[in-house]
């Protein structure tokens, strides 16, 4: 089995599994309990939050643990106060951003979807016009796109947001632990464990001190009442362990996945590589003349895992994210996402390219006949 769907999820690291197992076996108390096991659980929870905060250079008190990126993104949107009447995002965002925005629009809020350029970057002139005319808006932008890997210029967007008093939310799900980002201009930041070899069901939302967030549900006092309920101590410990490994090896990991990605792209002939300023962890490639599903299924039959888009949309028919970049239909409908991790090898990349070329050769032969 060759796994090239790491933007959907990653294999849990040994460090994350061991951290979770140790916590579940030995530190299983409720961190809110007054006895010794509760105190031990609370200490491990605080240690994990301190580690996560340290990687982002923020206070652990500014981090709210969640069940993952989807919950964090929803919390960022629906946690706004009633005075927040205008929301700005774009249609290339993850479904957990686009869907809340559309729900808010249905509820009567002003929601504006900003335009994108053909290379996947935000149209900064159009965005500035929107923010200038909607001063004090809520702005949500993904750091690294989950389908194309396009990296947005967060510093420029952040400065623009502050110029017009916008509340700036960044979905860092695909960037955390892979690409460094200063949160100087960021008010809310989503990140997730299972994209960096942590465990599924564990995410977080950074909420800058002074930025109010209403709870989405109610109950106990945990996490300042913003996200009540008994904290997932083992998941937090595993998250911190995975993040520690990712940040310690960030440069080496980037070099490794770049070599794997290059080994693949250099061998797939005249395929169209989509996007500019793209993360080495993701390749969005169009095989004109084939449907994306044809390539995905051919690779699946050979034991190679890739996708035709985000996992959350994999079973739903849709035009594809490239249509929002202004790509023609033959490019958008033939796009395959191939995503990498440091666990991949150049031999795997070469095998993947071989199967793709075989499939395209058979398709062209069939089309000629």
**Cβ 143 vs Cβ 151: under 8 Å:** yes
Which is the catalytic residue, given 312, 314, 355, 357?
312
Q: Say whether 43 sits in a helix, a strand or coil.
A: helix
Q: Is 352 part of the annotated catalytic residue set?
A: no
Check the CA dihedral 339-342-344-347 and report its sign.
positive
**CA distances (Å), 150 to each of 181, 200, 209, in order?**
15, 24, 29
Q: Where are the beta strands (DSSP E) in the chain?
A: 2-3, 63-66, 86-89, 110-113, 138-142, 167-171, 188-192, 203-207, 272-273, 282-286, 304-305, 335-339
Q: Say whether 158 sits in a helix, a strand or coil.
A: helix
Cα distance between residue 369 and residue 364, in whole Å: 9
Token pair, residue 194, equals: 């299972």
**Cβ 172 vs Cβ 204: under 8 Å:** no
Token pair, residue 6, equals: 């790491």
Residues identified as active-site? 312
């Amino acid at each position: 089995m060759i796994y090239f769907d790491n933007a959907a999820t990653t294999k849990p690291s040994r460090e994350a599994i061991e951290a979770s197992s140790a916590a579940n076996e030995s530190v299983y108390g409720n961190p809110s309990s007054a006895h010794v096991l509760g105190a031990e659980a609370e200490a491990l929870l605080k240690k994990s939050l301190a580690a996560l905060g340290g990687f982002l250079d923020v206070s652990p008190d500014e981090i709210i643990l969640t069940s993952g990126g989807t919950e964090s993104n929803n919390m960022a949107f629906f946690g706004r106060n009633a005075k927040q009447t205008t929301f700005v995002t774009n249609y290339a965002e993850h479904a957990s951003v686009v869907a809340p925005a559309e729900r808010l629009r249905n509820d009567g809020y002003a929601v504006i979807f900003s335009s994108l350029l053909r290379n996947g970057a935000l149209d900064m002139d159009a965005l500035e016009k929107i923010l200038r005319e909607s001063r004090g808006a809520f702005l949500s932008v993904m750091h690294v796109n989950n389908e194309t890997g396009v990296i947005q210029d967060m510093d420029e967007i952040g400065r623009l947001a502050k110029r017009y008093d916008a509340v700036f939310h960044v979905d860092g799900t695909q960037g955390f632990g892979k690409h460094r980002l200063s949160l100087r201009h960021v008010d809310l930041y989503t990140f997730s464990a299972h994209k960096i070899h942590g465990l599924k069901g564990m995410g977080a939302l950074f909420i800058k001190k002074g930025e109010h967030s209403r709870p989405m549900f109610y109950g106990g006092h945990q996490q300042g009442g913003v996200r009540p309920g008994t904290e997932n101590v083992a998941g937090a410990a595993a998250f911190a362990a995975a993040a520690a490994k990712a940040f310690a090896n960030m440069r080496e990991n980037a070099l490794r996945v770049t070599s794997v990605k290059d080994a693949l792209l250099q061998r797939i002939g005249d395929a169209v590589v989509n996007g500019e300023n793209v993360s080495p962890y993701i390749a969005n490639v169009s095989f004109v003349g084939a449907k994306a599903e044809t390539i995905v299924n051919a690779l699946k039959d050979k034991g190679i895992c890739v996708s035709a888009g985000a996992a959350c949309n994999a079973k739903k028919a849709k035009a594809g994210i490239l249509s929002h970049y202004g790509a023609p239909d033959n490019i958008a409908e033939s796009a395959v996402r191939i995503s990498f991790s440091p666990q991949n090898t150049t031999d795997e990349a070469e095998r993947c390219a071989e199967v793709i070329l075989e499939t395209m050769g058979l398709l062209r032969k069939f089309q000629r006949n």
